[in-house]
Copies of this chain bind each other. A is one copy, B any other.
Amino acid sequence: MRDLSRPQSLVAINTATVKQLTLREAVECLVAAGITGIAPWRDRIAECGVAEAARLLRGNGMRVTGLCRAGFFTGEGRAGLAAALDENHRALDEAAAIGAQSLVLVVGGLPAHSRDLAGAREIAAEGIAALLPHARQAGVTLALEPLHPMYAADRACLNTMKQANDLCDTLGAGVAIAVDLYHVWWDPDLEREIARAGRSPGRLLAFHLCDWLVPTTDLLLDRGMMGDGVIDIPRIRGWMEAAGYEGLLEVEIFSAGNWWRRPGEEVVRVALERIATVC
| Interface residues in chain A, defined as those with a beta carbon under 8 Å from any beta carbon in chain B | 110, 114-117, 121, 148-150, 152-154, 159-160, 162-163, 185-188, 212, 214-216, 219, 229-232, 235
Contact = CB atoms under 8 A, between A and B. Distances in A.
A219 B116 CA distance: 23
A165 B235 CA distance: 26
Given A148-B149, A149-B186, 15 more contacts: A115-B230, A115-B231, A116-B232, A117-B185, A121-B188, A149-B149, A149-B150, A150-B186, A152-B185, A154-B215, A159-B186, A159-B188, A162-B188, A163-B188, A215-B219
Contacts of A159: 186, 188
B153 A232 contact: no
Copies per complex of this chain = 2
A125 to B, nearest CB: 12
A13 B31 CA distance: 60
A153 B115 contact: no
Nearest to A220: B215
A235 B230 CA distance: 35
